[in-house]
Structure 1
Amino acid sequence: MAESPLRVVEPVGSARGYAIKDFLARNQVPFETHAIGPAGSVVLELPGGDVLFEPSLIELATALGLTDAAGGGDYDLVVVGGGPAGLAAAVYSACEGLRVVIIEDDAPGGQAGSTSRIENYLGFPTGLSGGDLAQRALAQARRFGVQWLSARRATGLRRDGDHWAVDSDDGTTARGTAVLVATGMRWRPLDVPGAEELRDIGVYYGASTPVAVQTAGSDAYVLGAGNSAGQAALYLAEHGVRVTLLVRGPSLEGSPMSRYLVRRIEESDLVGVRAHAEVAAVTGTGKMSGIVVRDNGTGEISSVPATSLYVLIGMTPCTEWLAGRSTLDTRGYLVTGTDLLRVEGAWSADRDPLLTETSLPGVFAAGDVRSGTVKRIGSAIGQGAVASQAVLEYLRDKAVQRIPEQGGVSSFDLLDADRDGLIGPADLAAFGRGLVAAFDEPADTERARRVADACDEFWAVLARFGTTGVDRAAFTGALDELSALDAFAPLADAVLGLSDTDADGALTLREFQRLLGALGTPADTAAATFDQLDHDRTGHLDTARLASGSTLLGRA
């Protein structure tokens, strides 16, 4: 016998019921509804027989498996916001072996997830819904091990020892070496009499799910002249709702709406445009009954009967939870990267800010919440990818800072195999052969070849400082530039791959001691370093996180 579907039992005209149904729809959870008298409570009858009375969204998400359990130690990266930018950064970071968690206050996709149809995203010629795109991205992130904490809102950011701590409204805290703020924007609330009192019982923000169609009635009003407003109007019209689009300008020509949407609205028999229209008030008691409209050209006031108004009139950045800790522009967006250097006192670290880094070192931003960005889904995804690389660079630098100066052989002495005071291509080849032999690795294996190729690649960079050989003074003077060029990283990566004898992507203490021993570090010092790096006390070190060349080989 088939399992009964989720059932929402709600009072007629319940704002709480609408919020729950909207949350379920945007998470693509199928459900049935049953209306009761206006005095009752919202009850959810779950598949399997459990019942939730007036549940919070986090209680609902937990019961339905829409969120992971909080906890699980510290993270390399805490992403705040599960829209396109946050999901993209999480996927790219997790691919590099980072431990990543996403904190999202609602459903995956952010504003993009609430878009009824995306038709200009590359690679989808027939379009797709924002919800579909978001769910695909979330499934991809989870496949790479990203932890997903939804239905919880970030309330604060603070320093906690060597980590950043993100506090949430459910009382949990996620600690990360780095944080990515990808909180995007929210709809600007309609600030007129009656709008707040009738929210979710006539006044709605966004119109992209079947729940919106169910609440629209036969006639609906959409306020706004951007793409989201146009998509909302067409979505409602596709389901048989007659829509009036209220716009402040003289027409949709010259508005921010894309031309293909303007053309479709003009061709639709169910969508009309009322120009020079501003909402002056919303009326109704217990449910919406009308809209007061002002003509901004003539000043004329008129009232129209209406039971639903969908407000899409602009966005404000979600940065208030940072409580003024990070530098914002005049509109409240996060200033990042080299733009910080143009703001007096915004950047205090002894290095230049990385791409997408905010005024708080180790805290990055991507997507619509960043100052000066293009507010498009494709742009947000690209920014997430860029931010991921900046985070990796920051973590590599942090790893170098965490490892104390080792007693033992300097990098120059390690690489100067014949001890003639010069490092040349033959020295690097001998260094590679010695490492391979130290791990009892046959010379014809893939791991051995990777070491040899990496030695050749390193010499191709080092030869800039001496075509026949590089002496100690030149090598020491070139260390900073070599690190900036990431010249050590391929060699370090190959050496780590060689030392990971069981190929599980992590080094045990024994493997780590063997590696540092081959690099001239005593076993007891290697053990102490291992203990410092293994801050989660797992007994393993992720090779992707250790692949920082200057950590292993960048000693003068």
Structure 2
Amino acid sequence: MASTSTGSSGAYDTDLIVIGGGPAGCAAARMAASVGMRSVLVEPDALCRNLYRIPALNNVLGGYTSGPELADAITAELKATDLCRLELGRSATALRAEHDQVTVTLDTGTRLSAPYAIVATGVGPLQPRDVPWITAPPDLTLPPLWKAEAADAEGRTLLVLGGDRPIGTFLRAHPTTETGLLVAYPPGDDYKIDEIREDPRVTLLAVEHVTLHPPQGPTTMAEAVDRSGERHSVMADAAFLSIGNAPTTPPGDLARDTTGYCPPAAQHPRVVIAGDLRSARYQRVMTALGSGSEAALHAYYAARDLHTPERQEG
């Protein structure tokens, strides 16, 4: 698919390269098509793969109540978009931004060029070893809470490390499941636990530090130090994570902050950041969809030397 756009280096391969096929990347490709821009969307997995893991939604428009329902709708619409070419099962191994174009190299060795690229690769789950407030055996890997099923929780007490939003999603998805969630969360998560505070199945433990012991059969044991310095022995039937995510970015010309996120205002003018990769503070489905659409319009206006509307930076 060759674009009619040209730069000083000759014809581009397409008008826009979108790296990442989650809600933000899909929205970017769809918006680009709506204004006549051709795009290539690069995604190493399935479109909207993480949406399929969200059993209940409460913050999106359109009447969608589950992640799979919304993911199916987004995927069907994008696959029917003639101006978007999907490169599924492919990863971006390099991104180079120059004064007149962006070049993206795929794991197949193929190189794509375009006037602009949108990077919407999102985030991946952290493990206990990745955060300073948890001490754990170096080889210990725990599942994120969004992987838990009702059978994992029914009649059991689960230790949940961290206060991120998957806790509320889990509770809404399993409203009749009789379980106890002991949520140990650090000071940085104080603002996140408001939506679960009143659920009778939740016990909140505000901590400074948690030490996880090696697994003792089916039982999880830990020592927690609360904000006053008092120590608590914790015992649960299983442990799950809700400690947040780490940015996943392709190698290349991206400006990253100390946490690995990519502030939109710090990027090369040819590179636009969308979705969860912008900041840990705005990781919602609706904000991802909106930022992807806005990123495509930003590229559209910039490519035509039109006035670019002010963009809210996450």
- Asked if Structure 1 and Structure 2 have the same fold, meaning a TM-score greater than 0.5 normalized by the shorter chain, the answer is yes
**Superposition deviation, residue 217 in structure 1:** 7.1
1:382 maps to which of 284, 287, 290: 290
Query: Which residue matches 1:226?
Result: 164
**Superposition deviation, residue 327 in structure 1:** 2.5
Q: Give yes or no for the alignment of 1:140 onto 2:84.
A: no
Indicate conservation of the 8 Å contact 2:42/2:88, yes or no.
yes
* Alpha carbons of structure 1 residues 163 and 255: separation in structure 2 relative to 1, 3 Å: closer
Query: Which residue matches 1:255?
Result: 191
Name the structure with the higher helix share. Answer: 1
**Superposition deviation, residue 111 in structure 1:** 5.0
Query: Which residue matches 1:166?
Result: 104
Kindly name which structure, 1 or 2, has the bigger radius of gyration based on alpha carbons.
1
1:131 maps to which of 68, 74, 91: 68
- SS of corresponding position for 2:32: helix
**Superposition deviation, residue 140 in structure 1:** 0.8
**Matches of 1:249 and 1:163, distance apart in 2:** 43
Query: Which residue matches 1:245?
Result: 182
Name the structure with the higher strand share. Answer: 2
Query: Which residue matches 2:121?
Result: 183
Query: Which residue matches 2:215?
Result: 284
**Matches of 2:222 and 2:151, distance apart in 1:** 23
Query: Which residue matches 1:115?
Result: 54
**Matches of 2:263 and 2:221, distance apart in 1:** 39
Indicate conservation of the 8 Å contact 1:222/1:232, yes or no.
no
2:262 maps to which of 316, 325, 334: 334
Q: Deviations over 1:468-492 (max 9, x none)?
A: xxxxxxxxxxxxxxx769xxxxxxx
* Alpha carbons of structure 1 residues 390 and 155: separation in structure 2 relative to 1, 3 Å: same
**Matches of 1:117 and 1:86, distance apart in 2:** 21
| Aligned residue type for 1:87 | C
| Aligned residue type for 1:175 | L
1:272 maps to which of 199, 202, 213: 202
1:89 maps to which of 28, 33, 49: 28
Q: Give yes or no for the alignment of 1:74 onto 2:5.
A: no
**Matches of 2:280 and 2:150, distance apart in 1:** 35
* Alpha carbons of structure 1 residues 166 and 135: separation in structure 2 relative to 1, 3 Å: farther
Indicate conservation of the 8 Å contact 2:124/2:245, yes or no.
yes
Q: Which residues of structure 1 form unaligned runs of 5+? A: 1-72, 341-357, 398-482, 486-556
**Matches of 1:214 and 1:165, distance apart in 2:** 47
Query: Which residue matches 1:322?
Result: 251
| Aligned residue type for 2:210 | V
Query: Which residue matches 1:300?
Result: 231
Query: Which residue matches 1:496?
Result: none
| Aligned residue type for 1:245 | L
- SS of corresponding position for 2:58: coil
Query: Which residue matches 1:423?
Result: none
* Alpha carbons of structure 1 residues 247 and 180: separation in structure 2 relative to 1, 3 Å: same
| Aligned residue type for 2:214 | T
- Percent identical pairs in the alignment equals 25
| Aligned residue type for 1:322 | P
Q: Which residues of structure 2 form unaligned runs of 5+? A: 1-11, 309-314
- SS of corresponding position for 1:302: strand
| Aligned residue type for 1:207 | W
* Alpha carbons of structure 1 residues 141 and 174: separation in structure 2 relative to 1, 3 Å: farther
**Superposition deviation, residue 239 in structure 1:** 6.8
**Superposition deviation, residue 273 in structure 1:** 1.0
**Matches of 1:214 and 1:383, distance apart in 2:** 36
* Alpha carbons of structure 1 residues 281 and 151: separation in structure 2 relative to 1, 3 Å: farther
* Alpha carbons of structure 1 residues 164 and 291: separation in structure 2 relative to 1, 3 Å: farther
Query: Which residue matches 2:6?
Result: none
**Superposition deviation, residue 174 in structure 1:** 5.0
Q: Deviations over 1:431-452 (max 9, x none)?
A: xxxxxxxxxxxxxxxxxxxxxx
**Superposition deviation, residue 81 in structure 1:** 1.5
Indicate conservation of the 8 Å contact 2:21/2:121, yes or no.
yes
Q: Where do 4+ consecutive residues of structure 1 move more than 6 Å?
A: none
Indicate conservation of the 8 Å contact 1:221/1:246, yes or no.
yes
- What is the TM-score with the length of structure 2 in the denominator? 0.75
2:95 maps to which of 137, 157, 170: 157
| Aligned residue type for 1:335 | P
**Matches of 2:194 and 2:85, distance apart in 1:** 36
Q: Give yes or no for the alignment of 1:370 onto 2:300.
A: no
Indicate conservation of the 8 Å contact 1:233/1:243, yes or no.
no
**Matches of 1:295 and 1:193, distance apart in 2:** 12
Query: Which residue matches 2:139?
Result: 197
**Superposition deviation, residue 241 in structure 1:** 5.6
